[in-house]
Structure 1
Amino acid sequence: MFFFPRGGKFKYEFQKGKPWQYDNFYAPFDFSINKGEAEINSEKEKIRAGRVDYYDYDTKVAKEVDSIIQIEITQIFDDVDFSDLQIRQFQQVAKEMVEELYNNGILSKVGRPSNRNSLYLLKNNEAKKLRINNIYKLSDVSLVVENTLAKKKLTKFEPEFQQLFFNAIKPNLSFNEDLSNKELEAEFSKISYSLGNIDEGKLIIAKGEVVEEEDLRVLESLKSEYESKLWGKNNQYYVLIGYTILVAMVLTMLFLFLKKYRLEVFQDNTKITFIVVNILLMVFATTIIVKYNEGLVFVVPLCILPLILKTFFDARLGLFVHVLTVLILGFVVPNSFEYIFLQTLAGIVTILSVSELYKRANLFISVGQITLIYIVGYFAFHMIHEGNIDNIQWMAFGFFLLNGMITLFVQPLIYVFEKIFGLVSDVSLLEMSDTNSKLLKELSNRAPGTFHHSLQVANLAEAAANEIGANAMLVRVGALYHDIGKMNNPTYFTENQITNVNPHDDLDPLESGKIIIDHVIQGIEIARKNNVPDRVIDFIRTHHGTSMVYYFYKKQKALQEEIGGEVNEEDFRYPGPAPFSRETAILMMADSVEAASKSLKNPSFLVINDFVEKIVNGQIAENQFLNANITFKEIETIKKVLKQKLINIYHLRVEYPE
């Protein structure tokens, strides 16, 4: 509300070249027809072109130069056999030259006004208008000396006089900037900003009449007067209340949408703040540009908003927030219908075109499409308004290109938002997926078997995610980091045991189960210590869900049957939580299938099929996917991908005869 324009909103919408859609419109009060900004600027330019500047005349310079020349003449001709009478004659001639030169003053080359025919000379507190031709400049000094000596028939002494005057003469006129500017402002104040008056009750435009140039000028003048009258002391609060209600309605739609369709975002204050801050930044940038110059409104890269929101959330939320922001800006911008139309289309194109923003080519292609939409839309609107393409403003296309160039800066902006709000984008996920990163390098050195297992799980999970349209990059990174907790005790996990010695043989099943379960907790601690984002830590927490370490549970149960007593199942159950998204559910399936596949002795198509079905169906029976937004159809698709991948891993093919 603080950034909104201070004034009411004219209740009629109109555009040049379109019919007046309302009833006959009569002037509601007396008002003036305002000149356009271009007309006023043109008049100002004419005044500037015809201005007469003021110059100060320094009398001291003329006296000083005369004194110096009189002394120098005595010294120059003293060595030559001249009588006192002749020297006095030379001095008199020099005096006449000085008086001639400084009669109206001498201008320096730098201070000479360009493209001016005259100036005002300020001498003894009086301003006298003179033509520029009547003012000497330094280059004219030699000519004055030559002409004067020719009249006096002293041309044989010209070299001495020329040298004397060249050294002594200096300009004495200086530009009076303060007085010149005051005179210019005085002339500007005489400009009339209106072309006439319209009396109350006069018909302005009839229903169905096309809005022509003159009609547009009258309507815009009335609109300006009407909106300024609304912002009075008595009714400004009503206008503010009206604005507040409308903006509140828009933001209410946002929160209702989040509560109904994006509950996890609605319940996260950081994410809510992030969305609202982005809306505020766009409103702020647009209002600042509109106040500076309305013609630059399309320079504001509004499509950065859906780009960023799609990067951190999803396409549907990005488009919804973009449309709501455009609706809010409809109160601020001129020609709100055109603005809303073009920006909504550009937002839709942004959402439809941008995928995998971490690929640089995709961003350039998307920005190109956005810019094309702006250009084509502007071209169409111009033809509607003008009925031709003669007066098209080519500069507008430059603004659209500038908009596209600024939109390319979304990448560093995403990085800034990640650091401020603790969010993670696909660009960061791509960096984390590099197996040469510090944490993954440490995992490969300390637990090579686990590292290889993680790579295999990442390949399985990524393929499954691509098949059902989940976030493949997020799943891959989650798979690479899901078992980093095994670094603390690598030899207690079979994939890292390179000898037949199993350290679990020396431990009771309860202690062994605790070591296995603790790799989840330790993995979370390691991840947080290395600043791994929470979205990736979620995979560490959920990749076993609330399942049981069944091998050591059965071993403990058999032991308890011999000595008597009950086995507490909770001692052998992972703390959870169960997967709560499609991505974490995919990882649980891929992890369990890949780990258990190592126990297959003679894998075949039938064996792998039954094996995958048994593991995934067992997880469904244990309600591991109850909180995940994944369907049975998607689970079946994931099963097919896992089966096919395992078949490829084990190279099942026809045996060739020896």
Structure 2
Amino acid sequence: MKNLFVLFTKNQPFIYKVFLFVISTFLIIYLLPKGGQFKYNFQKGKPWQYENLYAPFSFTIKKDAETIKKEEENSIANVIPYFEYNSEKATQSRVDFSDLLDNVYVDSLYSTSKSETKRIGLSILNEVYTNGVINEIYPYAPDKIVYLTKGNGIEEIAYSQLFKEINLKNKINAEISKTASKDINPLLQKLLGRTLVSNVDFNSNLTQKAIDSEVKAINPNRGIIEKGGRIIAKGEVVEGDKFQILNSLKSEYQSQVWSESNLLWLLIGYSLLVSLVFLMLFLFLKKYRPEIYENNNKVTFIFFNVFLMVLLTTFVVKLDAKYVYVVPLCILPLILKAFFDPRLGLFVHVLTILLLGFVVPNSFEYMFLQIIAGIVTILTVSELYKRANLFISVGQITLIYIIGYFAFFLIQEGNIQSLEAETFGYFILCGLATLFAHPLIYFYEKIFGLVSDVSLLELSDTNSKLLKELSNKAPGTFHHSLNVANLAEAAANEIGANAMLIRVGALYHDIGKMLNPTFFTENQANSINSHTELDPKESAQIIINHVILGIEIARKYNLPDRVIDFIRTHHGTSLVYYFYKMERDMNGSANLEDFTYPGPIPFSKETAILMMADSVEAASKSLKDPTSSKIDSFVEKIIDNQMEHGQFLNSNITFKDIQVIKKVLKKKLNNIYHLRVEYPE
């Protein structure tokens, strides 16, 4: 049991990767469609590239979406709407008219009698309430047949037979013109206008049921292909009926009911394919990004983002496949580039698209557009911490989407007449969603403890609390750090290293000195040296301890590990030679371990550059009457000595890079120490 525990502990990182591999594969398979994959890839407007295709089984030809949409529109237009008649309102209207007339009629004002006036008014009401009164205008033709429900009965009438309230004035005028009672027109207009109410309402419930019934009755099929019948011949262009028949066969093939044995084989096939994708990702990390491969937190971060994009795309496809291009897939390479590097970002992006090929419709078109967009993202998005760069890049990505989709549409349709501008709107929404990368990067930094260029820019602010404290307590060290930052940044730019990261690392690499600033010569304001009263071994320990103290301060201020790496490695395992020689001269011998920095040695280009720049800048202060030849000589000497002692063995830096760095450092130091004209007093 103990041996098993030791074995588990020793191989814990590898076991975790195996677990991550298995769980990621399982989750992706769960999201993939559970149906057969059609083995032929075809596009509208392109020739059939396979041998003659015969129907493997009998299947129905599906109508295309546009045809079904038109049939639905025709069915809806032909549906007979329902209106509901309220007899109580009609009766009440007559009663109200009679009562109101009795109250306001004055014999001396009108030549027409009260009874005649009532007869005319009730006659009008009876006529308009025969089929009912409506107060809304509906978009139906006058001769449109409608159903009018009265109690338990239904009448079929023309829409024009329903009386509209706005026609009351004309109705009264027409009735009055048939008699000699024109003097009561104003009275009737007033009384009927107050008592006439609509008693017919549109019955949306019954009408909608009728619409649903008609739409449901639409046959989605328009024919049948018998088993063995030829569907398409080799070289034929896939268009019109051929395209629709192939789509029908594909749909029928993918929607077949799978038996348990078929489903098992399907899952085995998916497992192998998804496993291959994730295996390629692991192999890429192990071979080309070993520092990421060894960090399970970073590996988890990458797998999480792949799964998130597959999950989001699958959800959108199930909701409505036409919105698939709204998913901002380019966020994936953008974020991975921000935290790692462009090559890894593009590689993971392509692998993710391969997985999505099982999910999305028109997989070739989708994969082509997304890969091109991913390449554009990698090529255009630079210096993400500059907000304008992200907006410009998102515009370029959106433009590429639109151009690519437009090109595919021309190939498939051969014209632009049926082009829908709505689709371009989806690409614009996708571009806007890509802008969400900034807050997402901040979220990932907090959750996974990673650091991006945006955070590095914030850390490079010399007005930050920690750097302010360094400049106040150890001004000489702060000035030294600024000079090292400038030298290292210039060298990093020349060899293609991360200049922003190395600048931040240089600014913080000596923060451990601010606890004992006077023990470091750059902070000694006078000729008094604090080391004169100390033993060489004690002095060496104080000098060495600034690395340990720097790490402690960095952790206290929550500096990222990538920055702390510069503090740990900027002296590597080098020797504090001054005090080592002093100890040896005093006692005849000295223990190397007492005067050696604990390391580790630099393990990246950036940390190696900082070691060179730090050593060269510090040593340059001891040069008397610096000339170009002196500067060149001492730069060569210092860096060659570091190489001889194996300080760069783990830093993945080439001899060519080192030569370029030497050249940059020489040039920069020559500019700093160039001869100046002596001004007259």
Q: Is the 8 A contact 1:458 1:476 kept in 2?
A: yes
- After superposition, the C-alpha distances for 1:43-77 in whole angstroms (9 at most, x for unaligned) are 11112223322111111111222222222222112
CA shift, 1:396, in A, is 4.2
Q: Is the 8 A contact 1:8 1:230 kept in 2?
A: no
Does structure 1 residue 29 correspond to structure 2 residue 57? Answer: yes
Does structure 1 residue 617 correspond to structure 2 residue 645? Answer: no
Q: Quote the residue 1:309 is aligned against.
A: 336
Show the 5 A alignment for 1:376-455.
376-387=403-414, 392-455=419-482
Q: Which residue, 104, 109, 112 being the options, matches 1:76?
A: 104
Cα distance in 2, alignment partners of residues 99 and 236 from structure 1: 71
Cα distance in 2, alignment partners of residues 119 and 387 from structure 1: 44
Cα distance in 2, alignment partners of residues 191 and 397 from structure 1: 31
Q: Quote the residue 1:192 is aligned against.
A: 219
Q: Quote the residue 1:155 is aligned against.
A: 182
Cα distance in 1, alignment partners of residues 659 and 42 from structure 2: 57
Does structure 1 residue 635 correspond to structure 2 residue 658? Answer: yes
Q: Which residue, 134, 138, 142 being the options, matches 1:113?
A: 138
CA shift, 1:336, in A, is 2.0
SS at match of 1:229: coil
336-345 or 387-396, larger mean C-alpha shift: 387-396
Change (3 A) 1:68 1:657: closer
Cα distance in 1, alignment partners of residues 436 and 99 from structure 2: 71
Change (3 A) 1:86 1:402: closer
Q: Quote the residue 1:575 is aligned against.
A: 598
CA shift, 1:82, in A, is 9.7
Q: Is the 8 A contact 1:204 1:215 kept in 2?
A: yes
Does structure 1 residue 48 correspond to structure 2 residue 76? Answer: yes
Q: Is the 8 A contact 2:135 2:166 kept in 1?
A: no
Q: Percent identity?
A: 58
Q: Which residue, 249, 253, 257 being the options, matches 1:222?
A: 249
Q: Is the 8 A contact 1:230 1:236 kept in 2?
A: no
Letter in 2 for 1:47: S
- After superposition, the C-alpha distances for 1:476-523 in whole angstroms (9 at most, x for unaligned) are 110011111222222222211212233333333333333222222222
330-339 or 453-462, larger mean C-alpha shift: 330-339
Q: Which residue, 478, 482, 492 being the options, matches 2:519?
A: 492
Change (3 A) 1:532 1:362: same
Q: Quote the residue 1:510 is aligned against.
A: 537
* Structure 1: gaps spanning 5 or more residues: none
Number of aligned residue pairs: give it. Answer: 651
Change (3 A) 1:365 1:161: closer
Cα distance in 2, alignment partners of residues 368 and 221 from structure 1: 38
Q: Quote the residue 2:209 is aligned against.
A: 182
Cα distance in 2, alignment partners of residues 353 and 29 from structure 1: 50
Q: Which residue, 16, 20, 25 being the options, matches 2:48?
A: 20
- After superposition, the C-alpha distances for 1:400-423 in whole angstroms (9 at most, x for unaligned) are 444334334323322222222211
CA shift, 1:607, in A, is 1.6
Letter in 2 for 1:262: R
Q: Is the 8 A contact 1:120 1:130 kept in 2?
A: yes
Q: Quote the residue 1:169 is aligned against.
A: 196
Show the 5 A alignment for 1:546-557.
546-557=573-584
CA shift, 1:199, in A, is 1.2
CA shift, 1:594, in A, is 0.7
Q: Quote the residue 1:335 is aligned against.
A: 362
Q: Quote the residue 2:307 is aligned against.
A: 280
CA shift, 1:34, in A, is 0.6
Letter in 2 for 1:510: K
Does structure 1 residue 472 correspond to structure 2 residue 495? Answer: no
Q: Is the 8 A contact 1:17 1:210 kept in 2?
A: yes
Letter in 2 for 1:12: Y
CA shift, 1:245, in A, is 1.6
Change (3 A) 1:232 1:613: same
CA shift, 1:474, in A, is 0.7
Q: Quote the residue 2:622 is aligned against.
A: 599
Change (3 A) 1:633 1:656: farther
CA shift, 1:254, in A, is 0.7
Q: Is the 8 A contact 1:231 1:239 kept in 2?
A: no
Cα distance in 2, alignment partners of residues 81 and 594 from structure 1: 115
Cα distance in 2, alignment partners of residues 88 and 363 from structure 1: 84
Change (3 A) 1:390 1:108: closer
CA shift, 1:393, in A, is 5.0
- After superposition, the C-alpha distances for 1:319-361 in whole angstroms (9 at most, x for unaligned) are 2111111111111122222322332233233333333333345
Q: Which residue, 565, 579, 588 being the options, matches 1:538?
A: 565
SS at match of 1:2: helix
Q: Is the 8 A contact 1:101 1:141 kept in 2?
A: no
Q: Quote the residue 1:589 is aligned against.
A: 612
Q: Quote the residue 2:14 is aligned against.
A: none
Q: Quote the residue 1:137 is aligned against.
A: 164
SS at match of 1:119: strand
Cα distance in 2, alignment partners of residues 473 and 13 from structure 1: 46
Q: Is the 8 A contact 2:574 2:597 kept in 1?
A: yes
Does structure 1 residue 289 correspond to structure 2 residue 316? Answer: yes
Cα distance in 2, alignment partners of residues 176 and 393 from structure 1: 35
SS at match of 1:289: helix
Change (3 A) 1:121 1:419: same
Change (3 A) 1:65 1:398: closer
Cα distance in 1, alignment partners of residues 406 and 53 from structure 2: 30
TM-score, length of structure 2 as denominator length? 0.90
- After superposition, the C-alpha distances for 1:572-628 in whole angstroms (9 at most, x for unaligned) are 322221111110011011111111111111211222122112221222222222221
Cα distance in 1, alignment partners of residues 396 and 188 from structure 2: 76
Change (3 A) 1:346 1:157: closer
Cα distance in 2, alignment partners of residues 93 and 378 from structure 1: 70
Letter in 1 for 2:161: N
SS at match of 1:19: coil
Q: Is the 8 A contact 2:513 2:520 kept in 1?
A: yes
Cα distance in 2, alignment partners of residues 157 and 123 from structure 1: 33
* Structure 2: gaps spanning 5 or more residues: 1-28
Cα distance in 2, alignment partners of residues 391 and 66 from structure 1: 57
TM-score, length of structure 1 as denominator length? 0.93
74-83 or 326-335, larger mean C-alpha shift: 74-83
Q: Quote the residue 2:88 is aligned against.
A: 60
